[in-house]
Amino acid sequence: MDGFQVLPPNRLVHVTRFGLGHRLIRATSAYHLAKILALPRLKNQWGSCSKDTNWRGKDGNDAYSIFPYLFGNDVWILPTESSIKRQGKRVIVRNDVYGYIPGQIYKNFELPIDKSNEISGNGPLVLKLMSDSEFYSQLVDNYRFQAEVLEFMEKHKFREHEVVGLHIRAGNGEKTHFEWSGRGITDEEAFISDSIHLVEALVEKLRSLQRKKPLVFLATDTQRLIPVIQNAMKNIGVETVHLEQIRVEDNGGVTFQAFASKEDDCLKGWQAMFSDMLLLGNADVVVAARHSSFTQSLPLSRVFDRHRGEEGPHFCEVSSDATTMTCFEDKKTWLFRQDENKIFQIENGNQTKSFPQVTHRVLVSFPDVETPNEMDTVIEFLQKPRIGNDTDILMHTYGKKGFNPKYRGQKSEKSMWTFAYS
């Protein structure tokens, strides 16, 4: 038939911004939403490192587009049984995915969840964690610079060591949101010294379990801390390694901002961040010296998945003053904190159970207890039949703003407890 045009498959387009951890936490929600809506395609639109800002808003890429540089094709094929695959419809999500909230919101606002969700293991929170694992596995499989990561692991004999992946997000001079969110460090020297004591105690714990020889892999945004950590670990007979990479100068802020329009340096910066993240995920234990979406995204998911069914610890969180550290054996224990047999704690370098656990700040996103109004609207958009021979691409924006205003701006420090159950 003359002029016949096959409509492209429906897709969800997720437009992200800010740092890598921030993007990944939201990208897992976009992936989860796309599956719920039975959309056969997901486009991961991470923007460009190009000096030319005219790429913004285009449904395409240039030579400096971030996601294709890191992972190849930015359009993923998703399994779906939907009978309305080819309607040429696009659902646009800008940054926040409405209907998904950080787990911390559940705690701060005491949003009730069904107690059976924790016990049965098939509730919405656990199912979201399983979906996250799928997303991160595909990212890792698609990563174009895996050879660099594997070469580093081989060089430093990761598989012959008990690798402690230490992430220290000191800010490197970053202000505003970094400090507002409670991650700023008032006395850097004292914080690093105390953190080192905690890691030393963790190393002794691993030695007592007769694990393999310990090795510390260090990922940090602050270059001046590298020799400090190396020297401290050397004093207890532990080697510390880090991935050589392009770095922002001291007090120069965060990579994604400092290299924003430097094109090649910008792409190399994104590559370095993801390689660091992947190496953390390949450790045996991840230590998050500061609560951060960087560690609670791929590293947390991967380190628990890789050691499923194995005795812990596998993920440790350091308190805001670096005097206490809490470690966990598996994802459910990390999230719900109900099985004391899978948790151990360190205070001032000593193992003990006589003090409260580290304040739990959950940045991983989960479905809200309330389905947003936007869900009904997007379902109506997808189900509405086309009129006549219309072949235009139809667009629908899911959520009015890049930052969902629900719960935003209301901060709570009361998070020593875990979840509220109905």
pLDDT tens digits, residue range 359-374? 778 999 999 989 999 9
Count of domains for the chain? 2
Instruction: State pTM to two decimals.
Output: 0.89
Q: Which of 304, 319, 351 is the last residue of a domain?
A: 351
Asked if residue 172 has pLDDT above 50, the reply is: no
* 204 and 60 belong to one structural domain: no
Q: Is residue 340 part of a domain?
A: yes
Q: Is residue 4 part of a domain?
A: no
Q: Is residue 202 part of a domain?
A: yes
pLDDT at residue number 178: 44
* 199 and 335 belong to one structural domain: yes
Residue 286 sits in a domain whose CATH number is 3.40.50.11350
* 258 and 368 belong to one structural domain: no
Q: Using H for helix, E for strand and C for coil, what is the string for the chain? A: CCCCCCCCCCEEEEECCCCHHHHHHHHHHHHHHHHHCCCCEEEEECCECCCCHHHCCCCCCCCCEHHHHHHCCCEEECCCCCCCCCCCEEEEEECCCCCEEEHHHHHHCCCEECHHHHHHCCCHHHHHHHHHHHHHHHHHHHCCCHHHHHHHHHHCCHHHEEEEEEEECCCCCCCCHHHHCCCCCCCHHHHHHHHHHHHHHHHHHHHHCCCCEEEEEEEECCCCHHHHHHHHHHCCCCEEECCCCCCCCCCCCCHHHHCCCCCHHHHHHHHHHHHHHHHHHCCCEEEECCCCHHHHCHHHHHHHHHCCCCCCCCEEEECCCCCEEEEECCHHHHHHCCCHHHEEEEECCEECCCCCCCCCCCCCEEECCCCCHHHHHHHHHHHCCCCCCCCCCEEEECCCCCCCCCCCCCCCCCCCCCCEEC
* 346 and 379 belong to one structural domain: no
* 92 and 167 belong to one structural domain: no
* 249 and 294 belong to one structural domain: yes
pLDDT above 70 covers what percent of the chain? 81
* 277 and 215 belong to one structural domain: yes
Average pLDDT taken over every residue of the chain: 85
Least confident of 62-76, 211-225, 352-366: 352-366
* 52 and 163 belong to one structural domain: no
Of residues 5 and 19, more confidence is placed in: 19
* 170 and 306 belong to one structural domain: yes
* 120 and 37 belong to one structural domain: yes
* 133 and 107 belong to one structural domain: yes
Domain carrying residue 23: 11-140+364-421
Q: Which of 298, 321, 351 is the last residue of a domain?
A: 351
Asked if residue 143 has pLDDT above 50, the reply is: yes
Asked if residue 254 has pLDDT above 70, the reply is: no
